Structure 1
């Protein structure tokens, strides 16, 4: 078979498929749910801060002071933790994504088979049905009422009717009918890959945490650029006569404190572990920031079908109008339902109405959400139309009263009509005679009421945006516990699509019925224009546009492929009740990363104050690198890891970065002043020993008295830093008390164990100890005052 030639009616044979696979003519796409291993290693190792610390580590090694290179070990451990955590998460997410990869129906060896979209080969005969995303490019060979939404390519959301011979392009969506075509362009030659890449960029979820952390890192980078020459100059001036090694060691001590080496790591790990945790609850996170995004959501837009209701429509009754024969109506309904491309409504009718053997279908128009009706012409039987009464009935029809009465009970009502006219294109035939009402019911999800109650308690507003009758939708909403007054129900056919005009309406309305796909999108945009963070849930093709524009799109696992493709979250088992878990995970991530960011930024500010103070007073930097490694490990590194992964049910509060800076900058400044005050006090009291001047506490000195100024500064900093940790860990729980107690115990061991005293060069006579604790306590009291006066800090506490 030559390239581009039409496939035979029976499709390719297994041998022909194998031949094309061997030639690489396959539909391989970049469907990975996470980064490749090399990218994980590169992004965890080759960072600007790792480069800074790496250079400092090399300098320390050159000086021969291996003890002061301890931060290099921490650097390696941090990177390894990040790599291992992300790799393990990657494996789990990749396996889950593979199990839920998009599929395509192909005809091979004369049979229809459902395969992974990536396994489609050139010349495959592909079958399209409603809700499918076209996986490759080609020309249609068979068509049955096929309509395709090409908005991904053209920007026009109107469905395009297709005929035999018309081209179909990958990335477009089938909204009605069915068809078959031969795949001519696959893989890199098709539109799918390029469109997917662009759509992914376009729909990238905004993360306040990531953007705030990136902004912090930019600020800190500039601080390091300024502080580096200042630190080298001041230490050269203060202790240059002791040799270049001492200058390098003291300079490194200050610069190490300016690097937030674990902040990015812990942020990434928090996102990844949240995503992995959600997979255990059958929630596939397709974009990691979506975990945080749902926590920021204050409005959830629901499509009734598939969220409030199970989505399975059950036939309840067929009510003849006037004197029409019930058996004839059942025959007509059964014939319409005998459709190889039947939607859920027709499948429900098919279960209750057998198709008559003597009805022959000549032509048909498939149902779509914009048209809201379907039709079929049968030989000698005329044309039958099944659709929404609001669309098919005239404004003054008395049948409307009956429909309204049934819909008011939460039932779904369709009108079965007949005409002798034939179908012409996609137009509704005229001279319709309304024969009967088809009554359907929807099963309300057992978890819907509890889930909606949770959102109400959390201050999240609910908007139901449905294509069904607004009265029916409102009745179901009331059944699940929503307070829906009559004036909060709107028929969307009366409101248009102008976003500015919709802005006041979306604030006061709870239920929107008869909403077109374009209006769903417009309503979401109107909420966003009003300053809301909007989530949209749905399962049908008619929800895809709104899901793509929403801040967070949530698709049901049993929904259309096109809908799942644009969503950030997919509820694999279709259970709406998982959303509270996603919300809780998002809040945990936001609250915990904020705690961690406060710890790191406070340390950075402390180091900057100490660097500037050392330059102003022409003194050695108060710490050796090993001292800051100890302080960072017990007051930031180890506790931050646990705090970032612990529970936190705090509600989302906007202003992440501003809140961090309001507390961490003054708290860090206090810690810096405490350090220098304690250092100068100890130096004046204990630094006048021969051999200790001018750099009291010099690393090259073997006299323990010379270690005392740095020891005092370390003790005072530990007291203040532990109080910063205690403040940020509030409200206290037993696990937090154990964590802080363990860290304090580790710090104490560094001062009491002889081997640790020698390693860290600590000397703690009793008078120095009490003096240092007093200065540290003053710093702790100042931190407590800052915490109590900081707007939003006390409300920001987690659990």
Structure 2
């Protein structure tokens, strides 16, 4: 059966096993790579071929030419940085790939006359693929059969209005079913499909913004440019002096190595990777790594009711007849006529398993926009089932009764007859109410505690649902959500953009929200400076999930919802969100801590290099840089490397704040200046002794003040943090005490005057650092006390970017 001969009648049979095999052999298969994670080769290259490693490798080659293996120990940073980064990212990749397989949508195809679920990568050209509400079109194709099929192509075109599709119409991958169902034939698969071409050629699918990663990258770029003049001056100073070439090169390399923040990028990568692994253990799939950070910055959480606050299943508890008629038969027939039932229809199927022998003439599938579905039956007329406040006029007695029932937190649907055709545009004519169908939803047992967590963390929660506002408000009130007693019907929201944004910002519970309206509400909140997370599971949540700063989908949600979300809760537990927030805070807080260590070192390294160069530039006696590369290796391991690695993995519950770079620089620059000044002062005070003793004095000052900075960064203390600081201090002290280490590191602390001078300068530096921190806290407290706009919103990133 060739492509040109596949007809509507063939949609029931699909391809045969032999035809599928021939297309696999011809390479006509949907082999688009999964976006979940990088390949092993990409991970290895990304961790090996870095700017920092390149700088260190050049300096390593220079020092190896001098024949000093001990001074080349800083080369271990290349091995350590790359090795740890590769191992952690591979662990994260395994976690992501495992969870992505669980989360991946499995399309239903018809082969040899039977429908079966297969992997998306196993779809071949000419496959007959079934479509239902909320499902994504995974490859391009042509519609074979349609039962009210409507596709939302907003992910591709930006237009949110559903597009009706009938036999012969083209469908594009990346769109999803807004209403109805059907079957289509795959006409383009793999990299030939529309969405795949967009991803490769137009770069439409972008990552969520990361202030943390962007801040670190900007710092690294600045430092790289700073290294050029500082390095050139250091080279000139060392090589134009009177020292032997090997000593001059060692001093030059020692100065330059100290300027490189060798582990800062590594710490960011490790923090994100460990976060992915930890959340993976909670069945939380992070589809874009910076989303961990993004959710920690969120201050407004928009939650759908059904599937988020409540379980995604319902139970019919009553069908209250309004007029005489075959209510039970009509409900059973409507439920049976829907080939892709939503939770409401599945509840009706369970409640009315006996299906009458009614012949279906036409079906109007449920749409989130119109809030009703229906079917026409030969000899029995047309029946619709939908929202009473949409189908009935204001003031109608049945509508008022539905509102009263809904106030108890129950879902109410109206069963009605109509003489008009269901496919005609416009409102349904002459509806004759037949019954009110009452359904019960079970509130998630963890919803209350989750909402309490968000309230305690000063994060606003807004319930945005397509259900009746009174019913949604009753459910929210049962969970003690503040403001739930003032539920708002979204249809009554003002049209003016400013007033609309005001109403959305001040309101808490919203009902009768259409998919397009949900998107507008998210946009209104973001326009007011809020960082917004949207949680949902249905096709009606897709637009809002796509436009929110962070989209969170439930694992049992529609494939379309899962595909646009950055975070997927595979265990379907709303209570997992606090753990994601906590993990994001750990990442942000700890990276800020360790960034202070790395940047303080870079600041004092650059200043020391310049201080030792300036005398020669102005015609005074040239000063030789006192530290060898082996000294820098010792400082880096004990005051930066090991403490930073341990602290980057520690628990951290500090609230996320914007302004990462300014805040880190405000701590690092004063500390770096003080360390450089104290170290140079100590060196000058003992300049009358030999170079080894004077270098030892300077090193005592430098490492003592650096250890104090570690102690500052480790605050507030726990037993293990105190042990970490004490261990680093003890190991540093042993370097100046043990005969072997003194010989290996060329240290001579035998001059008592020099040792006491070094410690005295270190004490002065510590006092100045604490004084600078005290003044900084006072200035920030005064700035916070000044009247002005809501400071909670300041510094929050805005991410106006297209989403896939």
Residue in structure 2 matching 1:14, options 6, 12, 17? 17
TM-score (norm. length: structure 2)? 0.93
- The answer to whether residue 102 in structure 2 is matched with residue 117 in structure 1 is no
Could you tell which deviates more after superposition, 530-539 or 181-190?
A: 181-190
Q: Hey, what does 1:324 align to over in structure 2?
A: 324
Give how far 1:558 is off.
Answer: 0.3
Cα 1:794/1:759, change in 2 over 3 Å? farther
Q: Hey, what does 2:348 align to over in structure 1?
A: 349
Structure 1 CA distance for aligned equivalents of residues 201 and 536 of structure 2: 22
Structure 2 CA distance for aligned equivalents of residues 470 and 196 of structure 1: 39
- The answer to whether residue 640 in structure 2 is matched with residue 675 in structure 1 is no
Structure 2 CA distance for aligned equivalents of residues 616 and 584 of structure 1: 48
Structure 1 CA distance for aligned equivalents of residues 370 and 573 of structure 2: 29
Residues 102-121 of structure 1, C-alpha deviations (whole Å, 9 max, x = no match): 21100112211111111111
Give how far 1:516 is off.
Answer: 0.8
Q: Hey, what does 2:773 align to over in structure 1?
A: 787
Cα 1:565/1:589, change in 2 over 3 Å? same
Give how far 1:279 is off.
Answer: 0.5
- The answer to whether residue 734 in structure 2 is matched with residue 767 in structure 1 is no
Cα 1:199/1:537, change in 2 over 3 Å? farther
Structure 2 counterparts to residues 579-594 of structure 1, below 5 A: 579-594=577-592
Residues 510-562 of structure 1, C-alpha deviations (whole Å, 9 max, x = no match): 01111111111111111111111000000001111111111100000000101
- The answer to whether residue 640 in structure 2 is matched with residue 636 in structure 1 is yes
Q: Secondary structure at the match of 2:412?
A: strand
Alignment RMSD (CA, Å): 1.8
Structure 2 CA distance for aligned equivalents of residues 332 and 274 of structure 1: 52
Structure 2 CA distance for aligned equivalents of residues 783 and 154 of structure 1: 56
Unaligned runs of 5+ in 1: 688-695, 697-706
Q: Secondary structure at the match of 1:342?
A: coil
Q: Hey, what does 1:625 align to over in structure 2?
A: 629
Residues 466-488 of structure 1, C-alpha deviations (whole Å, 9 max, x = no match): 111111111000111112254x4
Residues 239-292 of structure 1, C-alpha deviations (whole Å, 9 max, x = no match): x22233222111111111111110000100100110110010010000000001
Structure 2 CA distance for aligned equivalents of residues 275 and 175 of structure 1: 32
Q: Hey, what does 1:691 align to over in structure 2?
A: none
Cα 1:199/1:369, change in 2 over 3 Å? farther
- The answer to whether residue 62 in structure 2 is matched with residue 59 in structure 1 is yes
Give how far 1:5 is off.
Answer: 4.1
Q: Secondary structure at the match of 2:352?
A: coil
Q: Hey, what does 1:302 align to over in structure 2?
A: 303
- The answer to whether residue 169 in structure 2 is matched with residue 166 in structure 1 is yes
Residue in structure 1 matching 2:150, options 147, 156, 160? 147
Structure 1 CA distance for aligned equivalents of residues 779 and 490 of structure 2: 43
Q: Secondary structure at the match of 1:28?
A: coil
Q: Hey, what does 1:269 align to over in structure 2?
A: 270
Structure 2 CA distance for aligned equivalents of residues 314 and 181 of structure 1: 33
Structure 2 CA distance for aligned equivalents of residues 671 and 579 of structure 1: 42
Could you tell me whether the CA contact under 8 Å between 1:313 and 1:348 is conserved in 2?
yes
Could you tell me whether the CA contact under 8 Å between 2:519 and 2:544 is conserved in 1?
yes
Structure 1 CA distance for aligned equivalents of residues 676 and 664 of structure 2: 17
Could you tell me whether the CA contact under 8 Å between 1:659 and 1:793 is conserved in 2?
no
Structure 2 counterparts to residues 663-702 of structure 1, below 5 A: 663-684=667-688, 686-687=689-690, 696=691
Q: Hey, what does 1:312 align to over in structure 2?
A: 313
Q: Hey, what does 1:750 align to over in structure 2?
A: 735
- The answer to whether residue 114 in structure 2 is matched with residue 127 in structure 1 is no
Give how far 1:574 is off.
Answer: 0.7
Give how far 1:3 is off.
Answer: 4.1
Residues 738-776 of structure 1, C-alpha deviations (whole Å, 9 max, x = no match): 111111122122112222111100001133222211111
Residue in structure 2 matching 1:613, options 611, 619, 626? 611
Residues 625-681 of structure 1, C-alpha deviations (whole Å, 9 max, x = no match): 111110011010011001000111111122211110001000011111111111112
Structure 2 counterparts to residues 54-133 of structure 1, below 5 A: 54-133=57-136
Could you tell me whether the CA contact under 8 Å between 2:474 and 2:484 is conserved in 1?
no
Q: Secondary structure at the match of 1:304?
A: coil
Could you tell which deviates more after superposition, 582-591 or 711-720?
A: 711-720
Could you tell which deviates more after superposition, 424-433 or 523-532?
A: 424-433
Residues 369-400 of structure 1, C-alpha deviations (whole Å, 9 max, x = no match): 00101111011111101111111111231222
Cα 1:58/1:85, change in 2 over 3 Å? same
Give how far 1:46 is off.
Answer: 1.2
Residue in structure 1 matching 2:530, options 529, 532, 539? 532
Q: Hey, what does 1:473 align to over in structure 2?
A: 472
Q: Secondary structure at the match of 1:307?
A: coil
Structure 2 CA distance for aligned equivalents of residues 793 and 343 of structure 1: 57
Q: Hey, what does 1:492 align to over in structure 2?
A: 490
Structure 1 CA distance for aligned equivalents of residues 23 and 427 of structure 2: 45
Could you tell me whether the CA contact under 8 Å between 1:496 and 1:519 is conserved in 2?
no
Structure 2 CA distance for aligned equivalents of residues 199 and 482 of structure 1: 43
Give how far 1:11 is off.
Answer: 1.5
Q: Hey, what does 2:444 align to over in structure 1?
A: 445
Q: Hey, what does 1:692 align to over in structure 2?
A: none
Give how far 1:341 is off.
Answer: 1.9
Give how far 1:497 is off.
Answer: 6.3
TM-score (norm. length: structure 1)? 0.94
Cα 1:497/1:126, change in 2 over 3 Å? farther
Residue in structure 2 matching 1:138, options 137, 141, 164? 141
Q: Hey, what does 1:646 align to over in structure 2?
A: 650
Cα 1:498/1:225, change in 2 over 3 Å? farther
Give how far 1:137 is off.
Answer: 1.5
Could you tell me whether the CA contact under 8 Å between 1:517 and 1:545 is conserved in 2?
yes
Q: Hey, what does 2:801 align to over in structure 1?
A: none
